[in-house]
């Protein structure tokens, strides 16, 4: 590899890992399994070592990912919350042991083996023996304060009365959701038309970030603790400090062992690799720690992880079963996904009947035949995937699985773009799942926000022929809706469930539709689902053109003259308005009173007084809507919103309890911090 190629690969890997981190930590939607992720991370680490000239302090190898969410206040961790180095084999475990004995200069040490709980980490700060802060891992240096939510977890002591406990201490642990609660939660989500969580870990992390603690309380989280931090150290054995935590009232798992050598450690690992199925909660490995705290201190830390501990990660669980048939599902955007129907088999504690096949390339790669015996594996998603075929068991007359040529929903011939793996149905205007997808986008929270029409309900209205286009929503009547019923299948359990429209449901739906007429133009424009017109582009367009009529009349040149509107977006808008069906749609929406122009009061509010200014909004405001209004005012006056404080920040608008780290950084950089009223005064002038 030349140095240029190395640089290219390093940059590619960094970008990719940042993207994966964002999906994992912020969106709670992992794109890869830990194993695949670690492979990329290791490759980057090796290249960075070989080519130190390409060092970057922001590389994913030096930073742990972040779960920080703007809605919460943040707090710096007194001791950084690091991650653990992952290992996957006995050899890697031995290497770790050799490193440890070299640094310690002795073989006299013991290991503590614990389960690696697959939840989301938490730091619990006790002051005067009372729980005062619960903080997420965040970016490792600082995390979100989620105290109110954690206080709803019954296994987290609010006060520690034990006489041996010091006044002030910190406990770290994992917030968990057991499998039964997880499945119950997902069933409820599907019933309400919400997207189910991919796994208990994401569900736990998502729950911790809910804004209403009463909702958190309903989800029955648990907290398993694994680390006690006191200053000074009150117990020199990690094993014993875990027992102390139990005595103080914390929830400590009994599956913990003290081992005198790495072979004993490996025996513990092998036992749990099998036995984990019987646990009521998910684990993804075993954590191996040096027991003696002084030895831990001697070993110390690297930038990312302790040298005194390591994680042994289990490989994804696998099972073998027979392929019965393949179904082809058409998604909301027209993508056709093959799904394998299998002989039911138990995998990681749940019965699996279906597995994802991703796309046509995947089927070809596996050279899949009907009746094949296939190896399925549980990755990060709910639906397992087929990873291998046992060709020896294939019968000689079995038929190869071929990808379909026509849409199973509407019969249109499928298409595939050059360089893309997916087949899609091009019949955007007539293919039922695609039409439903448009309606679902239209009613979604960031668009028209018609909450009372969750996914299941749109499906029902569509299937009954009442709504084919978003405009039809505004013609629905009480009489049409009352008494409608539909049986829906629960994709997780294969069970069926009935939804029916009673008086209250119908009233709520009609109320929701009516109040969507007040939704401002920028969100209506986003709701229309014009390709490439996301939230930000919609905001730029509305603040420039002010009305749908002006936007419709805009030429290609007019469009690309708007800041941040490029040729692809401009072309897409021109195409959208050249379709007579879309013009009809706009006319209908106008006739129902939907906001298709910027309100006069907004125009009056506009100026360019904040042009070129980067502004951070932090802290809490009278209501979440108030915070949005402040942000909207920044945009209306030409300013740019940014999340993080840097030397480029012009000023900070701080509400109640602003993020301490943001304020600290602002002070360091001499950046003005102004209050809400000072900001209003500023734009008034």
382-387-390 Cα angle (round to 5): 130
- Closest separation in Å from C-beta 135 to ligand IVH: 13
Reference 571, options 623, 531, 602; nearest CA is: 531
- Options 49, 116, 457, 495, the catalytic residue: 116
Q: How many CB atoms sit inside 10 A of residue 392's CB? A: 6
Q: Considering the complex, state which of residue 253 and residue 359 has its C-beta at the smaller distance from ligand IVH.
A: 253
Q: Considering the complex, state which of residue 6 and residue 348 has its C-beta at the smaller distance from ligand IVH.
A: 348
Q: Considering the complex, state which of residue 96 and residue 117 has its C-beta at the smaller distance from ligand IVH.
A: 117
- Closest separation in Å from C-beta 66 to ligand IVH: 13
Reference 220, options 274, 175, 283, 272; nearest CA is: 175
Task: Please name the residue that has the structure tokens 């779960």.
Answer: 67
Q: Give CA separation, 458 vs 430, 435, 461, 654, in Å.
A: 16, 10, 5, 40
* Sheet strands side by side (includes 309-313): 86-87, 309-313, 283-290, 111-117, 256-259
- Closest separation in Å from C-beta 174 to ligand IVH: 5
Q: Considering the complex, state which of residue 243 and residue 500 has its C-beta at the smaller distance from ligand IVH.
A: 243
- Closest separation in Å from C-beta 79 to ligand IVH: 9
Q: Considering the complex, state which of residue 72 and residue 117 has its C-beta at the smaller distance from ligand IVH.
A: 117
Q: Considering the complex, state which of residue 266 and residue 424 has its C-beta at the smaller distance from ligand IVH.
A: 266
Reference 206, options 100, 338, 87, 67; nearest CA is: 67
Alpha helix (H) ranges present in 136-230?
147-150, 179-191, 200-208, 213-218
Closest-CB residue for ligand IVH? 121
* Residue 495 among the catalytic residues: no
Give me 56's structure tokens.
Answer: 């970057």
How far apart are the C-alpha atoms of 556 and 267, rounded to whole Å? 68
- Give the three-class secondary structure for 289: strand
- Closest separation in Å from C-beta 172 to ligand IVH: 7
| CA dihedral over 165, 169, 174, 178, signed as positive or negative | positive
- Closest separation in Å from C-beta 307 to ligand IVH: 10
Bond into 232 cis (ω within 30): yes
625-626-627 Cα angle (round to 5): 90
Phi then psi for 602, rounded to 5 degrees?
A: -70, -40
Q: Considering the complex, state which of residue 202 and residue 597 has its C-beta at the smaller distance from ligand IVH.
A: 202
The residues that touch ligand IVH, with contacts defined as CB under 6 A, are 82-84, 114, 116-117, 121, 137, 174, 226-227, 287, 306, 309, 311
Q: Considering the complex, state which of residue 117 and residue 679 has its C-beta at the smaller distance from ligand IVH.
A: 117
How far apart are the C-alpha atoms of 289 and 310, rounded to whole Å? 7
Phi then psi for 354, rounded to 5 degrees?
A: -135, 155
Phi then psi for 131, rounded to 5 degrees?
A: -70, 115
Task: Please name the residue that has the structure tokens 């979100």.
Answer: 144
- Closest separation in Å from C-beta 133 to ligand IVH: 17
- Closest separation in Å from C-beta 256 to ligand IVH: 8
- Known catalytic residues? 116
């Amino acid at each position: 590899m030349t140095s240029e190629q190395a640089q290219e690969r390093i940059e590619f890997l960094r970008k990719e890992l940042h993207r994966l981190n964002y999906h994992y930590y912020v969106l709670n939607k992992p794109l890869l399994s830990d194993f695949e992720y670690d492979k990329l991370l290791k490759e980057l680490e090796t290249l960075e070592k070989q080519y130190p000239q390409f060092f970057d302090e922001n590389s994913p190898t030096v930073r742990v990912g972040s779960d920080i969410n703007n809605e919460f206040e943040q707090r710096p961790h007194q001791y950084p919350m690091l991650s653990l180095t992952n290992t996957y084999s006995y050899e890697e475990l031995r290497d770790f042991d050799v490193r440890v004995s070299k640094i310690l200069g002795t073989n006299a040490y013991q290991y503590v083996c614990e389960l690696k709980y697959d939840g989301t980490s938490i730091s619990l700060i006790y002051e005067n023996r009372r729980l005062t802060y619960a903080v997420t891992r965040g970016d490792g240096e600082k995390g979100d304060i989620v105290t109110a939510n954690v206080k709803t977890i019954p296994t987290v002591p609010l006060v520690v009365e034990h006489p041996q406990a010091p006044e002030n201490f910190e406990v770290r642990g994992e917030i968990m959701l057991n499998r039964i609660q997880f499945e119950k939660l997902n069933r409820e989500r599907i019933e309400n038309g919400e997207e189910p969580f991919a796994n208990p870990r994401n569900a736990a992390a998502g729950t911790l970030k809910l804004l209403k603690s009463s909702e958190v309380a309903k989800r029955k989280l648990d907290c398993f603790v694994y680390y006690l931090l006191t200053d000074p150290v009150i117990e020199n054995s990690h094993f014993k400090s875990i027992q102390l935590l139990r005595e103080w009232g914390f929830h400590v798992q009994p599956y913990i062992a003290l081992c005198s050598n790495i072979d004993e450690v490996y025996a513990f690992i092998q036992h749990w690799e099998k036995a984990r199925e019987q646990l009521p909660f998910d684990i993804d490995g075993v954590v191996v720690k040096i027991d003696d705290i002084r030895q831990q201190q001697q070993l110390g830390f690297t930038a990312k992880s302790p040298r005194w501990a390591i994680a042994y990660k289990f490989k994804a669980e696998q099972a073998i079963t027979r392929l019965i048939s393949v179904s082809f599902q058409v998604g909301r955007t027209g993508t056709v996904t093959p799904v394998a129907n299998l002989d039911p088999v138990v995998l990681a504690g749940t019965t699996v009947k279906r597995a994802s096949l991703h796309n046509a390339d995947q089927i070809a790669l596996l050279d899949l035949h009907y009746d094949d015996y296939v190896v399925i594996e549980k990755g990060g998603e709910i639906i397992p995937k087929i990873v291998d075929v046992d060709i020896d068991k294939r019968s000689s007359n079995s038929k190869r699985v071929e990808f379909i040529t026509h849409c199973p929903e509407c019969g249109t011939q499928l298409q595939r773009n050059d360089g893309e793996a997916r087949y899609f149905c091009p019949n955007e205007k007539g293919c039922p799942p695609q039409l439903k997808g448009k309606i679902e986008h239209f009613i979604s929270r960031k668009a028209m926000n018609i909450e009372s029409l969750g996914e299941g309900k749109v499906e029902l209205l569509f299937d009954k022929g009442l709504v084919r286009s978003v405009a039809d929503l505004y013609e629905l009547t009480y009489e049409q809706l009352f008494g409608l019923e539909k049986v829906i299948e629960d994709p997780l359990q294969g069970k069926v469930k009935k939804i029916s429209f009673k008086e209250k449901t119908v009233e709520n739906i009609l109320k929701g539709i009516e109040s969507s007429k007040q939704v401002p133009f920028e969100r209506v424009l986003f709701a229309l689902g014009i390709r490439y017109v996301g939230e930000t582009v919609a905001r730029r367009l509305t603040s420039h053109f002010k009305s749908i009529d002006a936007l419709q009349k805009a030429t290609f040149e007019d469009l690309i003259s708007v800041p941040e509107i490029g040729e692809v977006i401009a072309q897409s808008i021109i195409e959208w308005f050249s379709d007579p069906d879309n013009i009809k749609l706009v006319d209908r929406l106008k006739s129902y009173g939907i906001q298709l122009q910027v309100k006069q009061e907004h125009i009056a509010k506009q100026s360019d007084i904040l042009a070129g200014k980067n502004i951070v909004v932090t802290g809490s405001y009278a209501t979440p809507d108030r915070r949005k209004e402040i942000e909207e005012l920044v945009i209306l006056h030409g300013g740019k919103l940014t999340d993080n404080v840097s030397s480029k920040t012009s000023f900070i608008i701080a509400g109640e309890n602003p993020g301490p780290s943001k304020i600290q950084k602002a002070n360091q950089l001499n950046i003005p911090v102004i209050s809400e009223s000072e900001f209003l005064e500023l734009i008034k002038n």
